[in-house]
Structure 1
Amino acid sequence: MKAFLILEDGTVFEGRHIGVDKDVVSEIVFNTSMAGYTEVFTDPSYAGQAVCMTYPLIGNYGVCLEDMESERIWVDAVIVRELSKVASNFRCDITVQEFLEKYEIPGIEGIDTRKLVRLLREKGTMNGYITTNENIRYEDVRDKLKAYTTGDVVSRVSCTEKQVIVGTTDLADNGPLSGAASFDREKYEAAKRGDLTKREMRPSNVKELNGFGFKVALLDFGAKKNIASSLAARGCDVTIYPSTTTAEEILADEPDGIMLSNGPGDPKECTEIIKEIKKLYESDIPIFAICLGHQLMALATGADTYKLKYGHRGGNHPVKDLENGRVYISSQNHGYAVDTDSLDPKVAEPAFVNVNDGTNEGLKYVGKNIFTVQFHPEACPGPQDSSYLFDRFIDMMCASKEDMHEE
């Protein structure tokens, strides 16, 4: 069956229908990853967007449902050069076509994705209309295309009630994930039984146990599963809060650290959330923020954000850590960035920079146990180049406990 993609500038692409047969209007973006399409399709940060995969063949290893970053597909539609009808991989559960049908997602294949990407790079991100109706003309959908916005997508993707994930570090055989040589098994077993709480441990023992027993509050703006998993794997007990949760409720639970997650949409639309983050900033609790969380913290502290021409989406973006001078390969998915010219140097300073275009990729907050990044350290593009940032967050919580002990 024929399918058509109509862009808001009037460009029309003709291809073949994939997924389910339904019309959709969405913001058209592209992702440069060669693999990881399951994670892309299920990333809540894509809510309100249709994604074009630049790699020419998608679906050859099928879909492993265990790799999903959320409970469903969040992209509005999928655009590919060629969709493999046959999947070959020992972990494969279903094909991409079956995956799209399962979650009622439409798509189009057979178009010149190179031309589409060039258009988006030259003219900037545009809205598009995907349909199988051969009689629809640009004039019929022009107003819809011009009027479409992603809107308040954070409320769509966030959880609706608190969830708890208990730390899952397997200390039985190998000790903490960090490989601490001085692991004290008796202390660990006592803490596991509840005979020894983290507040009763000496600070050095807290360090030895890595994140075991730490309570982390994860504010869900569209959090990928692997964020909570990365914390739990380091021994942290993670409580996931809906995006509408007040700062007072979070602080009342006395977390040892706070995570602000990734998420979709324009950060400036999250006005109520920004007010609550400002209150969290004013606390002395260590905070680590990713992607949308990074932008929201910047807005909460007086900085500004702006929309990128076509965004950063892919698993091959180099970022430089300004503290150690090293460059890491990162996974990214964002259409907005923090304006470093708007930063108050007394509040925050750049910590990471994008090597390709010089845009900001992270901030360190002056006099605060807060650092934020624009990219995704929970993803595995390098394959684990930037996962050390979770360890840095653990170190911040450890240091905070040591300060409390000294007081």
Structure 2
Amino acid sequence: MKYQTRKKAILLLADGTIFHGKSVANNEGTAFGEVCFNTGMTGYQEIFTDPSYFGQLMVTTNAHIGNYGTNKDEVESNSVKIAGLICKNFSYEYSRPSADLSLEQFSEESKLFAISDVDTRALVSYIRDNGAMNAVISTEVDNVEGLKQQLQKIPSMVGLELSSKVSTKEPYFFGKENAKYKIAALDIGIKKNILRNLAKRDAYIKVFPYNATFKDLSDWNPDGYFISNGPGDPEPLEDAILTAKEIIANDKPLFGICLGHQVIALANGVSTYKMHNGHRGINHPIMNLVTGKGEITSQNHGFAINREETEANKELEITHVHLNDQTVAGIRMKNKKVFSVQYHPEASPGPHDAEYLFDQFFEMIGSSVN
């Protein structure tokens, strides 16, 4: 077996619970973040590079991670965004012909600190019962008290604004300049596959920083507006919420995904809250209340919008619900060209049941332009 002398490692949770494991390869290190888990059987590279996971320690529930290597085209941003990786079996070898690197090589290049040989079944069960919380993974197994003191200084995800950490610093373009539609996208943690889905529907996208104003976006004279997914608590995103309010006030076509969905809700006076342990995986069941059809979806969020406030809001209609817990998974405005979903219709990884939402966005834009 490769790396038979791997270093001992621990996962220390904020409540003092400890899980034991080993470092991946012979690495030494320490990483802090909010611990969460993803139930997907595939797509680890896309998960690791998803900006929505910024600041989180990722527990992968699939027993084997790394067995199909990595590919340079299967990334959702320009770098790894998770704070660290916790897994059961880390595969140093891979069998996929189209892979560029092993996950070990990818982790080394990305400076991703990972630990393996953790009882992830027990860990996920514990998180499900006790909720997502801050944690630390480390090879400093003899410094538990010191790690506890450092862990106490890590801020809670509640009230934490993280979009500024992952958003573009300057506007940039995606797609073909001579495309039929122009879309202004507010980047609060955007995934590349969202841009691909917009572009393949004949759109030219200009991506703006998280704090761009409505004037910044509208000066480009776009046909439609989009607010992306992203990490952290939505309530501190005052600039994005104001921009959403002005897009709505000016009766422009608007589509939001994940964190963008929460921003649109906040712009309509609906509050958000931190969930017990969130939804993260590629097999989450959704009911489309408009069509009566079910969807299997890709999800990644730790916050949700208040259902009672949404139902009481005369401007809003709930269009989708999560069938596991009845949380709001989609809304639309009754008298505006605005809708949003809590999940990821672009998938990557995940099923494509919800790709029709991109088509609906462009149908809405078409009816607005014509």
Contact 1:361/1:374, CA 8 A, preserved across alignment: yes
Q: CA separation of 1:340/1:83 partners in 2, compared to 1, >3 Å: closer, same or farther?
A: same
Q: How does 1:295-310 map to 2 (within 5 A)?
A: 295-310=262-277
1:300, distance to aligned residue in structure 2 (A):
1.2
1:98, distance to aligned residue in structure 2 (A):
1.1
1:84, distance to aligned residue in structure 2 (A):
0.5
Whether 1:214 and 2:181 are equivalent positions in the alignment is: yes
Amino acid at match of 1:144: Q
Contact 2:45/2:70, CA 8 A, preserved across alignment: yes
* 2:147 paired residue number: 141
Contact 1:8/1:126, CA 8 A, preserved across alignment: yes
Q: How does 1:5-404 map to 2 (within 5 A)?
A: 5-18=11-24, 20-137=27-144, 139-149=145-155, 150=157, 151-167=160-176, 212-343=179-310, 344-379=312-347, 383-402=351-370
Structure 1: how far apart are the matches of 2:272 and 2:359?
A: 28
Contact 1:246/1:276, CA 8 A, preserved across alignment: yes
1:338, distance to aligned residue in structure 2 (A):
0.5
Identify unmatched segments of 5+ residues in structure 2.
1-6
Structure 1: how far apart are the matches of 2:263 and 2:282?
A: 23
Structure 1 length as normaliser, TM-score?
Answer: 0.86
Contact 2:57/2:85, CA 8 A, preserved across alignment: yes
The total of aligned residue pairs comes to: 359
Structure 2: how far apart are the matches of 1:44 and 1:248?
A: 26
Deviations 1:243-302 (A, max 9, x none): 111111111211100110000000112123212221112112110100000001101110
Q: Which has the larger radius of gyration?
A: 1
1:381, distance to aligned residue in structure 2 (A):
5.9
Identify unmatched segments of 5+ residues in structure 1.
169-191, 193-211, 403-407
Secondary structure, aligned partner of 2:10: strand
| More helix as a share of residues | 1
Secondary structure, aligned partner of 1:25: strand
Q: CA RMSD in A?
A: 1.4
1:303, distance to aligned residue in structure 2 (A):
0.4
1:239, distance to aligned residue in structure 2 (A):
0.7
1:152, distance to aligned residue in structure 2 (A):
2.6
1:342, distance to aligned residue in structure 2 (A):
1.3
Deviations 1:356-385 (A, max 9, x none): 111110101110000100000011566311
* 2:4 paired residue number: none
Contact 2:29/2:138, CA 8 A, preserved across alignment: yes
Amino acid at match of 2:38: N
Contact 2:161/2:234, CA 8 A, preserved across alignment: no
Quote the sequence identity (%): 39
1:312, distance to aligned residue in structure 2 (A):
0.3
